[in-house]
Amino acid sequence: MKELTIEATVENIETVTDFVNEQLEALDCSMKVQMQIDIAIDELFGNIAMYAYNPETGPATVRVEVEKDPLAVIITFIDNGKPYDPLSVEDPDVTLAAEERKEGGLGVFLVKKTMDNVTYEYKDGQNILRIKKKI
């Protein structure tokens, strides 16, 4: 398991992505899977950066774990910000034209569609969001 604790700011999305990609490259992860995970990081860490501590900032921890048989990566995002379960938001109606849809929710919807498993819990004053992707 590898872990990175960093200030939850939009400017740090790239640092988090590089940290996770370093682990993925060591696993010979395909570019397609890596891109899907990169998009998930951008969305999930970006949401923490913009909303968890707003208007302040605070720390976020990103943990990367590897499961064998089948080979999979589990990425956990942990913050001490406001309790918020992004999985409780209703999925957007993607059959509607973009201008007819309610704003928000599309990024988390994409994460749920591209990852093999996404879970959320609020425990001990922390938001804990996990994504799992088979490699």
Encoded tokens for 54: 């707003």
Q: Which of 21-35, 83-97, 109-123 has the lowest mean pLDDT?
A: 83-97
Domain that holds residue 88: 2-134
pTM of the full predicted structure? 0.92
The answer to whether residue 106 scores a pLDDT higher than 90 is: no
Residues 89-99: tens digit of each pLDDT? 777 666 667 66
Please give the C-alpha separations between residue 52 and each of 32, 75, 85, 111, 115, in angstroms, as whole numbers: 29, 18, 11, 18, 22
Number of domains in the chain: 1
The answer to whether residue 25 scores a pLDDT higher than 70 is: yes
Q: How far apart are CA 12 and CA 113, in angstroms?
A: 25
Q: How far apart are CA 74 and CA 24, in angstroms?
A: 11
The confidence score (pLDDT) of residue 89 equals 79
Residues 40-98: tens digit of each pLDDT? 999 999 999 999 999 999 999 999 999 999 999 999 999 999 999 999 877 766 666 76
* CATH code, domain carrying 22: 3.30.565.10
Q: Exposed e or buried b for every residue in 35-64, given b needs 16+ CB within 10 A?
A: ebbbebbbbbbbbbbeebbeeebeebbbbb
Q: Exposed e or buried b for every residue in 79-114, given b needs 16+ CB within 10 A?
A: bebeebebeeeeebeeeeeeeeeeeeeebbbbbeeb
Averaged pLDDT score across all residues of the chain: 92
